[in-house]
Amino acid sequence: MSDIVVGVGASHSTLMNTHWDKVVHTGRAERFRDALGEARDAVAAAEPDIAIIIGSNHFRGFWLDMIPPFTLGVGEVLGAGEAKTPKGPQRTDQEFARSLAQQLIEAGTEVAISARLQIDHGQTHAIQYLLSGLEIPVVPLVINVFAAPLPRLDRCVQLGRNIADAVRAIGGDRKVAVLASGGLSHQLPWPADWRDPHGDDEEFLVEAWLNGRGDWERYDQRRREIITAARPVLFPEFDERFLADLEKGELARYGTFTSEDLEKLAGNGGQELRTWLTMAAALDFAPGRNLAYSPMPEWLTGMGVGVIEPAGVS
């Protein structure tokens, strides 16, 4: 029987890779970076055989021509490589991934599958920092958090619980890490609803999201110009409360929120917290450790790192 041995939640931002020289709050930035290293060490100490990475995709692997609520990479996994993140083929365990997909279907979560999945910094940021120097194969699980209608948060909680059951049902006695990438609070300069863009920038973004398959790099420079020109909007009080609830093992209550509730409290980028809820549910909402919280307006994001270790795992 396989089992989950550690869970990690960590914010991501490509601006961390490309805009370090723009940082004013250097101490906050270093605290977050150091916490990523501490989380990486917690993963290494648990000695997992495989890592399930739950993250989002910022329209570099999925486009508006088709975006399932949940997609599991069961074959080739390719990093998009934007903004100095890992590029090209990633180490995988296709046998485990396909068994996981089958078990999730049996448990009642109808995940889509991809035999050639392109992931972006919504997943590769975790590979770059949380798995640095570790030769661990990955199984990416992509949650749609940007193209409405979004999966309900309680469905993400159920997905996490089903991941735990599915892992236990898979033979081979593997140890599994579950890594969540995304959040915390932030507001992206994207259309409030892709179906109703306003202004040239929003119309450009919707065009890129619809037509980017096989050609996403053509749109990327202007996309990044729109992002880097955005006014930072963070919600530190929400972020600190969320991380305090992680420490108390009380993240399950966020499963009752609607998408509208979450956006009001944490911005449209806060929808990525579905990844943390899914991870925490897979760890049965055990109390965790808040390793760092750094509100980083230079990266447009409240940056946090937390670790959950099941009972018996030090």
Structure tokens at 235: 């919600």
> At which residue do the structure tokens 């270093």 appear?
30
Domain assignment of residue 160, yes or no: yes
CA 284 – CA 163 distance, rounded (Å): 11
Domain assignment of residue 22, yes or no: yes
Average pLDDT over residues 293-300: 95
Distances (CA, A) of 292 to 30, 167, 212: 10, 29, 35
CA 162 – CA 168 distance, rounded (Å): 10
Structure tokens at 45: 């100490």
pLDDT score recorded for residue 312: 53
Tens of pLDDT, residue by residue over 99-127, are 999 999 999 999 999 999 999 999 999 99
- In terms of Cα–Cα distance, which of 287, 296, 263 is closest to 187? 263
| pLDDT beyond 60 at 313 | no
CA 146 – CA 256 distance, rounded (Å): 19
**Residue 22, φ and ψ in degrees, nearest 5:** -95, 0
Domain range enclosing 46? 3-308
pLDDT score recorded for residue 238: 98
Q: What percent of the chain is predicted at pLDDT more than 90?
A: 86
Tens of pLDDT, residue by residue over 211-235, are 999 888 899 899 989 988 889 999 9
What letter represents residue 149's amino acid?
P
Quote the number of domains for the chain: 1
Domain assignment of residue 182, yes or no: yes
Distances (CA, A) of 120 to 35, 93, 142, 174, 308: 22, 19, 10, 26, 25
| pLDDT beyond 60 at 28 | yes
- In terms of Cα–Cα distance, which of 42, 286, 17 is closest to 179? 42
**52, 130 in Cβ contact below 8 A?**
no
Domain assignment of residue 253, yes or no: yes
Domain assignment of residue 294, yes or no: yes
Q: Are strands 288-296 and 138-143 parallel, antiparallel or unpaired?
A: unpaired
Average pLDDT value for the chain? 95
- In terms of Cα–Cα distance, which of 11, 119, 97 is closest to 50? 97
Domain assignment of residue 78, yes or no: yes
**148, 193 in Cβ contact below 8 A?**
yes
pTM for this predicted structure = 0.95
pLDDT score recorded for residue 193: 86
- What CATH number did the domain enclosing 137 receive? 3.40.830.10
- In terms of Cα–Cα distance, which of 244, 182, 267, 172 is closest to 8? 182
**76, 162 in Cβ contact below 8 A?**
no
Domain assignment of residue 314, yes or no: no
**Angle at Cα 192 formed by Cα 189 and Cα 228, nearest 5°?**
5
